[in-house]
Chain A
Amino acid sequence: MDAARVGIITFPGSLDDKDAARAVRLAGAEPVALWHGDHDLRGVDAVVLPGGFSYGDYLRAGAIARFAPLMTELVAAAEAGLPVLGICNGFQVLCESHLLPGALLPNAGLHFVCRDQRLRVENADTVWTTEYREGQELVIPIKNRDGRYTADRETLAELASTGRIVARYLDLNPNGSQDDIAGICNEAGNVVGLMPHPEHAVESLTGPSTDGLGFFTSIVKRLVNA
């Protein structure tokens, strides 16, 4: 059969789009470039919103990208079950779009933080995490300025009780996120937001590990088996 097609949206200011494409390719799928200004998802089987500083993060991270033309189609498709992974700025866009609850505030230390971060996978049942096992520990780079996940108490309780916390930081919490949250998903489990960058942990040559590849192979296997 044809390879699964995974779209990667480029907004003005997206930075890790090519890296996400490389990860998709390494996972065995075909990366498809999507342009923020189009109204066309080009029939992809899943979408990655990459990291970066869309629109310079002006106003608020993700706040402007959320209004990009393509987001209209994306939101509708995601609500209909299209697998969507938002990484870093992509996570911020998903929160701004209300596909995921909560918000990402400036890091507690007020600095941009780039480090190799230990994580624990808390939910291995989402479409993006089936290649992991619950409790598995990963080392994946984190690099952001606005990564402090924040939500109201009820939301946090709901996320925790319904297994929607996908990953938590281990050791030092790099940004002061509530409940050490590194990633969450929506109720259906098809939309996942992650602050760490799994696309930068797919080759031992350039990453601290290859632990990030599982996010991409998870979706590829699912699509192939679907």
Chain B
Amino acid sequence: MEWLGELKSDADDPELQPVDPSVTQAFEAMLEEAKPAKPAKPGAAPPAPQASPQPLVPPPVVVPEAPAQPQPVIQVDPAVQATLRAAQPLPAETEGPEQEFARALAEEGPADPAITLADPVTLPNPGLNQYDLNQYDLNQYDLNQYAPPPVGSGTGPQPAVGPGTGPQPAVGPGSGPQPVLGTGPIPAVDPAASPRPSGPGTGPQQAVNPGTGPLPALGTGPLPAVGTGTGPQQAVGPGTGPQPAVGPVGPGTSPQPVIRPGTGPIHAVGPNTGPQPAVGPGTGPQPAVGPGTGPQPAVGPGTGPQPAVGPGGSGPQPFAHPGPGPQPAVGPGGSGPQPFAHPGTGPMPVVGSGTGPQPAVGPGSGPQHVLRLDSGPIPAVGPGTGPQPTVGAGTGPQPAIEATGPAYYGTDTVAIAAASPERPQPYAELGMNDEEYRRVREILGRRPTSAELAIYSVMWSEHCSYKSSKVHLRQFGEKAPKTDKLLVGMGENAGVVDVGQGWAVTFKVESHNHPSYVEPYQGAATGVGGIVRDIMSMGARPIAVMDSLRFGPADAPDTQRVLPGVVAGIGGYANSLGLPNIGGETVFDACYGQNPLVNALCVGVMRHEDIQRAVAPGPGNRVILFGALTGPDGIGGASVLASATFDEESHQKRPSVQVGDPFMEKLLIECCLELFNEDLVVGIQDLGAAGVSCATTELAAAGTGGMHVDLDTIPLRDETLLPEEILMSESQERMMAVVTPDKVDRFMEICARWEIPATVIGTVTDTGRLVMTWRGETIVDLPPTTAADEGPVYNRPLQPPADLGALQSDTPGRLTRPSNGDELRRTVLWLAGSPNLASKTWVTSQYDRYVLGNTVLAMPENAGVVRIDDDSGLGIALSLDGNGRYTRLDPYAGAQLALSEAFRNVAATGARPLAVTNCLNFGSPEDPGVMWQFARAVEGLADGCQYLGIPVTGGNVSFYNQTGSAPINPTPVVGVLGVHDDVRRRVNMGLTTDGATLALLGETREEFGGSEWAHVVYGHLGGLPPLVDFKAETALASVLVNAIRDGLVTVVHDLSDGGLSQTLVESCLRGSLGARITLPGDPFVALFSESVARAMVAVRPGAEARLAALCESAGIPVTQIGVAGGDSLTVTGHGPDGDQQELFSIPLYELRESHERTLPSYAD
């Protein structure tokens, strides 16, 4: 009982009073939204020219004027973007990634004016918010410089289109001196049969004639045209001069060469019949890609104007990457699949028509995409025979359109940013409001570069900054009970608790809700991966996982898509990591139909001395990125997926969901443990949302304040990634470590042994600046604390939901209750087989609960119990609980009831509750009703933890869980960690001893508000949830812990959802032993009320008196309710006439059938 000494026991505590919802209030802090604490957004801030969706004008597209400016925020759906990217001209600045989440942000809208910015920054606004094409200074860009790419149309073979064979445009001023494209005709092709000499040099190079032999590599001067050939052609190397045309004149029949990036204009790629070359990124204008019959090339990102993609070949057509320059026209269709066209911030191309599947931008005979515009002039959209895009349409062949030749911005460097303060930036697309953007400018003393804008936008996103929740979450710290058990508190990747004997435990739960709806398997799998890396980054060995899942109705068709995928994803990832899944919950409710909740918990252990921190101290220390390569995964994922409200467009987000590789993560775990074991790291951070951006910013902010990172060193899976994309990529299974120079070699050796790529990407400095370079230019130079720790804080408006009063007034008292034995019997079976109370074996049998050999208890037990020390038996217990219906009725009480249940569950195994984690799943914080629910729930949880004397060590906030304007039931999920000094003394919940006396501890009141009975039988939600009674809860816990320690009880099962009825069903079936029960009082209330602070126990023969004495001293009522035994559940009580009689008897096989067949019938 010593642990109870710290607890308050004031019966007058307001929490102990019946909760009046209107009176209840808020609580505290935790974490983020649906993900790991990293921000997710991509970032770059490309300015998009832009505008609002412009009316699409038919074919001829107006060339935007200076396209380069950042556009107003246009939201582009990520999936659409992906498809658009190839086709659209890239705007000059950043592009891609941010736009993905931009749409989500757009949905969010600019900050509500009613919201007060806690730290308002005023900055003169030069009118950046307005985007108007007229703003563009036309004089800056000489349109005549650009050779308009003609675009064909029609359904037949199309003519080659491409600037490549004609005069090439000069590249306008943008980000510095730009090369002028050759304006003359490209050299004639001179066929020949021999290999050509290569002509490396700095001067103009010779034309390379087509031939049948290999063609030469090229040098650094202007490069020659490469003619057509019938043999394999050679790669055209990077050059600094204009690069060659590749066989624009005649078709080739063989694979054509790769065109490497160059800094000069790049040439047109002619038609041919073989696979066509990839066109690499370059800083100059890029080539036109002609038609061909083979697969056509990918067009890499470039900073110059991008090429026209010619009219169709018969093979698959190219993928065009985004670049900051004008993007290419996508020619009329070939007969093969056509390319995805990415959106860009530059002028948009004309899009022709074709007969094959068409690209995102452009009509075709196949299904067409919505054309979302972002920044540039809007393209004309040609005709098609299939569904047409929202923007523009035509029925006839379209005329060739003059190309737009807007200026483009090159890589947005710090120097350029300083010199071009007026360049509009798409901060709104990135989710920043005007005030936030102004504040960034004030911090930097200039406009941010696109990469900096990307970093600030993600680091200041709701997901990473907790800007809406922070003011409430502070209570977790302010109200934290005094304890010496907390070794690391909130703020690190996860809190660390002392469990004794030199051992420390870290645990945390996080959500991955939105990704799991979009792509159930990978969304859930990567949710597990992310939380496991959080635990690893504290220096701990992960030892178990749990999952709290919520879906729509079990019989809903979409649930049958989401549920199996989520379960398989959690199992597939954790099983492959070798982590036992020891418990959790699976709940069904219509409110989660289009917004499932997938909350994953991980717990890890370490010796006290092995605790690691996410810091980067020590100037000169190396920054090492290790784990998986960086690819275009989930760029924008965190913001888009964590903040987007689900709607019919969700399916278009598929490409944004990351894909996990549990095998790599398993290697990472073992590798990290070896690194820790040899004391090779001084700081470590996992990469989650917002990837490198977040990890470098947070490490630097927590260290000596400075870091220099060379983005060119980051190993990429896709070399065409732009710097902003590299910064924002959410590729999984990556970690970042800070290592002293003398230990780098050994660090690398260990990584090599585990076959894990590891690269030094930077150095810790003491400059107080996070500096990043790319291709030799500085693109980021900012004070990291301003991004990591000094984000905006909002005090959003709060107001109880309008329907709350009506909801609370609609009590379950009006519902007809079962009145006789037969009705009670049917109700018991009905509830036992209802989806929320039915056996979850279908789920849990897909999880490995045995691996690591330390699982003492796992689901469906009261709590998961894991042994930490084989010799001493030291172990932990964990329970994860939540109740959205209770919280809907009263958020303050609902959060406390979740805490209460988890606390009780842990104690029911014999463990002393020690610490709390939580995952707060709510709707949009911009909805005052939701924000009120959040504030009340946080306050309730903080007050509860304070009362119970167990601190919150960390957690996660997930907002925007809603469909349209309908938020989910507010669902705080609370995890309580307890400690077992010796797990061998634990008890479980299954009745196994015939003849054992069964007793009910605690007081049963008539409480049905939000109950399973009302939900299952009537679909009713109303009234008030059960009374919170922490005093009784702590007393019960003390009785249970002591009774178990002293061996007075052999079985314990808590009472919660479904009341005593469900407890009896579970205990009988778990042990395959029946029971004869005599109910006190009203049988219906006794069976189905959900009053808190109750448990059923089986008393060890002869210990009845000692248990009674223990209960009496603790003030816990104890009632003998029956005896274990037999093969049926038989219940006696007051009949309708008030006489004592057998009310019903249910054979175990019938009970089992009802309880166990439900989920398989829906899920298989």
Which residues of A are in contact with B by a Cβ distance under 8 Å?
12-13, 15-16, 18-19, 22, 37, 51-53, 55-58, 109, 111-115, 141, 143, 145, 197, 199-200, 203, 205-207
Contact = CB atoms under 8 A, between A and B. Distances in A.
Given A13-B663, A19-B852, A205-B856, A114 B847 contact: yes
B578 A16 contact: yes
B853 A199 contact: yes
Given A12-B754, A12-B755, A53-B663, A112 B855 contact: no
B853 A200 contact: yes
Contacts of B703: none
Interface string B1130-1164: 00000000000000000000000000000000001
8 contacts: A15-B576, A22-B853, A53-B663, A56-B664, A114-B847, A115-B845, A205-B984, A206-B853
A120 B411 CA distance: 69
A200 B755 CA distance: 29
B930 interface: no
Contact of A111 (B846, B855, B983, B984): B846
Contacts of A145: 575
A218 B336 CA distance: 64
Nearest to A56: B663
Contacts of B908: none
B867 interface: yes
Contacts of B867: 205-206
A18 B850 CA distance: 12
A16 B851 contact: yes
Contact of A112 (B754, B846, B984): B846
Nearest to B577: A15
A114 B856 CA distance: 15
B755 A56 contact: no
Contact-size category for B = 20 to 34
B661 A56 contact: yes
B848 A58 contact: no
Nearest to A15: B578
Given A52-B578, A53-B663, A205-B983, A18 B848 contact: no
B44 interface: no
Given A112-B572, A199-B853, A205-B856, 5 more contacts: A15-B577, A16-B853, A112-B847, A114-B845, A197-B850
Given A12-B755, A53-B576, A112-B572, A206 B854 contact: yes
Contacts of A203: 853
Contacts of B852: 18-19
Q: In the complex, which of the residues A13, A197, A203 has the most CB atoms of chain B within 10 Å of its own CB atom? A: A13
A13 B853 contact: no
A58 B571 CA distance: 16
B663 A55 contact: yes
B744 interface: no
B851 A143 contact: yes
Nearest to B866: A206
B849 interface: yes
Nearest to A143: B848
Contacts of A112: 568, 571-572, 575, 846-848
B439 interface: no
A205 B872 CA distance: 13
Contacts of A111: 568, 571, 845-846
Nearest to B670: A12
B851 A56 contact: no
B666 interface: yes
A51 B853 CA distance: 12
A58 B572 CA distance: 13
B62 to A, nearest CB: 51
Nearest to A37: B753
Nearest to A21: B853
Interface of B: 568, 571-572, 575-578, 661-664, 666-667, 753-755, 844-856, 867, 870, 983-984, 1164
User: Would you list the 9 A-B pairs with minimal beta carbon distance, nearest first?
Assistant: A56-B663, A15-B578, A19-B853, A200-B850, A53-B576, A143-B848, A112-B846, A141-B850, A112-B571
A15 B580 CA distance: 11
Contacts of B662: 53, 56
B478 to A, nearest CB: 41
A178 B110 CA distance: 62
Contacts of A16: 578, 851, 853
A58 B855 contact: no
Given A22-B853, A56-B662, A56-B663, A114 B846 contact: yes
Contacts of B844: 114
Contacts of A56: 576, 661-664, 666
A109 B845 CA distance: 12
A132 to B, nearest CB: 21
B953 to A, nearest CB: 27
Contacts of B661: 56
A113 B845 contact: yes
B856 A206 contact: yes
A199 to B, nearest CB: 7
B1089 to A, nearest CB: 34
A13 B667 CA distance: 7
B578 A114 contact: no
Nearest to A12: B667
B848 A114 contact: yes
A176 to B, nearest CB: 14
Nearest to B567: A111
B667 to A, nearest CB: 6
Nearest to A22: B853
Nearest to A203: B853
Given A112-B846, A113-B846, A13 B984 contact: no
A58 B984 CA distance: 39
Given A112-B571, A205-B983, A205-B984, A12 B846 contact: no
A138 to B, nearest CB: 15
Q: In the complex, which of the residues B662, B753, B850, B983 has the most CB atoms of chain A within 10 Å of its own CB atom? A: B850
Nearest to A54: B663
A137 B169 CA distance: 82
Contacts of B846: 111-114
A56 B525 CA distance: 14
B266 to A, nearest CB: 38
Contact of B850 (A55, A57, A113, A114): A114
Contacts of A205: 856, 867, 983-984
A58 to B, nearest CB: 7
A13 B576 contact: yes
B1151 to A, nearest CB: 20
Contacts of A22: 853, 870
A143 B578 contact: no
A12 B663 contact: yes
A83 B708 CA distance: 55
A53 B1164 CA distance: 25
A212 to B, nearest CB: 11
A206 B855 contact: yes
Contacts of B568: 111-112
A19 B663 contact: no
A37 B753 CA distance: 9
Nearest to A23: B853
B851 A15 contact: yes
A23 to B, nearest CB: 8
A114 B842 CA distance: 10
Contacts of B983: 205
A58 B983 CA distance: 37
A15 B576 CA distance: 8
B570 to A, nearest CB: 10
A56 B667 CA distance: 10
Contacts of B754: 12
Q: In the complex, which of the residues A12, A199, A203 has the most CB atoms of chain B within 10 Å of its own CB atom? A: A12
A147 B854 CA distance: 23
Nearest to B571: A112
Contacts of B847: 112, 114
Nearest to B847: A114
A211 to B, nearest CB: 14
Contacts of B855: 206
A40 to B, nearest CB: 15
